[in-house]
Structure 1
Amino acid sequence: MRTTTLGKNGPVVGRIGLGTMGMSFGYDPNGRDDDTSVKVIHRALELGVNLLDTADVYGPFTNEELVGRAIAGRRAEVVLSTKGGQTVDENGIHPNAGRPDQLRAAVDASLRRLGTEYVDLYFIHRLDPSVPLEESWGALAELVQAGKLRALGLSEVSLEEIRRAEKVHPVTAVQSEASLFTRGSLGDVLAHCNEQGIAFMPYSPLGRGVLAGAFSKPSDLPEGDWRKFLPRFGEEAMAHNNAIVDVVRGIADRHGVTLSQVALAWLLEQGEHVIPIPGTKRLKYLEDNAAGADVRLSAEDLAQLDALPEPLGASE
Structure 2
Amino acid sequence: MKIISKLNKEFSTLGFGGGAISGEGRGYGFGDMSESKAEEILLLAYEHGINLFDFAPIYGFNLAEKRAGKALRHVREKVHFVSKSGVDWHDNGRVNMTNDPKVAIKMLNQSLKNFDSDYIDMYLVHWPDPKVDIRRPLEALYNEKEKGKIKHLGLCNTNMEDLKKAKEVCPVEVVQMEANLFNQSAFKEVDESVLKLGWGTLDKGILSGSVKTDSKFDRDDCRSWAPWWKKSDWKKKVEFVESTLAKFNLKDADLLNMAIKFSQTVADVSLCGMKKEQHLLSGIRALESSCANYKEVVDEFSTY
- Normalised by the length of structure 2, the TM-score is 0.87
Give the aligned length: 293
More displaced 10-residue stretch of structure 1: 119-128 or 223-232: 223-232
Tell me how far 1:93 sits from its aligned partner.
2.6
1:104-115 equivalences in 2 (<5 Å): 104-115=105-116
Corresponding residue for residue 218 of structure 2 = 223
CA distance in 1, matches of 2:93, 2:215: 26
CA distance in 2, matches of 1:109, 1:39: 24
Corresponding residue for residue 208 of structure 1 = 204
SS state at 1:110 partner: helix
Q: In the alignment, residue 275 of structure 2 is paired with which amino acid?
A: K
Kindly tell me: are residues 248 and 88 of structure 1, through their superposed partners in 2, closer, same or farther at Cα, counting changes over 3 Å?
A: farther
Structure 2 residue ranges without an equivalent (≥5): 225-229
Corresponding residue for residue 227 of structure 2 = none
Q: In the alignment, residue 191 of structure 1 is paired with which amino acid?
A: K
CA distance in 1, matches of 2:249, 2:151: 40
Choose between structure 1 and 2: higher strand proportion.
2
Render the CA deviation track for 1:43-78: whole Å, top value 9, x for unaligned.
111111110001111111111111111111110120
1:1-316 equivalences in 2 (<5 Å): 1-5=1-5, 8-24=6-22, 25=26, 26-29=28-31, 31-89=32-90, 90=92, 92-96=94-98, 98-183=99-184, 185-186=185-186, 190-193=187-190, 195-217=191-213, 219-224=214-219, 225-228=221-224, 229-234=230-235, 238-246=238-246, 250=250, 258-270=254-266, 274-297=268-291, 301-311=294-304
Structure 1 residue ranges without an equivalent (≥5): 312-316
Tell me how far 1:303 sits from its aligned partner.
4.5
Q: In the alignment, residue 138 of structure 1 is paired with which amino acid?
A: E
SS state at 2:89 partner: strand
Tell me how far 1:3 sits from its aligned partner.
0.6
Tell me how far 1:297 sits from its aligned partner.
4.8
Kindly tell me: are residues 38 and 296 of structure 1, through their superposed partners in 2, closer, same or farther at Cα, counting changes over 3 Å?
A: same
CA distance in 1, matches of 2:68, 2:83: 10
Render the CA deviation track for 1:66-104: whole Å, top value 9, x for unaligned.
1111111110120111111221245743322x2322222
SS state at 1:196 partner: coil
Q: In the alignment, residue 306 of structure 1 is paired with which amino acid?
A: D
CA distance in 2, matches of 1:226, 1:84: 19
Instruction: State the percentage of identical aligned residues.
Output: 22
CA contact (8 A) 2:142 2:170 kept: yes
CA distance in 1, matches of 2:29, 2:248: 24
Kindly tell me: are residues 175 and 248 of structure 1, through their superposed partners in 2, closer, same or farther at Cα, counting changes over 3 Å?
A: farther
CA contact (8 A) 1:178 1:205 kept: yes
CA distance in 2, matches of 1:249, 1:154: 39
CA contact (8 A) 1:69 1:114 kept: yes
CA contact (8 A) 1:173 1:199 kept: yes
Kindly tell me: are residues 248 and 159 of structure 1, through their superposed partners in 2, closer, same or farther at Cα, counting changes over 3 Å?
A: farther
CA distance in 1, matches of 2:128, 2:35: 30
CA distance in 2, matches of 1:203, 1:266: 12
Tell me how far 1:216 sits from its aligned partner.
2.3
- Normalised by the length of structure 1, the TM-score is 0.84
Tell me how far 1:296 sits from its aligned partner.
4.5
Render the CA deviation track for 1:218-249: whole Å, top value 9, x for unaligned.
x3232333335243333x55334421344676
Kindly tell me: are residues 248 and 85 of structure 1, through their superposed partners in 2, closer, same or farther at Cα, counting changes over 3 Å?
A: farther
CA contact (8 A) 1:4 1:13 kept: yes
Render the CA deviation track for 1:192-213: whole Å, top value 9, x for unaligned.
22x4321221111102101111
CA distance in 2, matches of 1:79, 1:151: 11
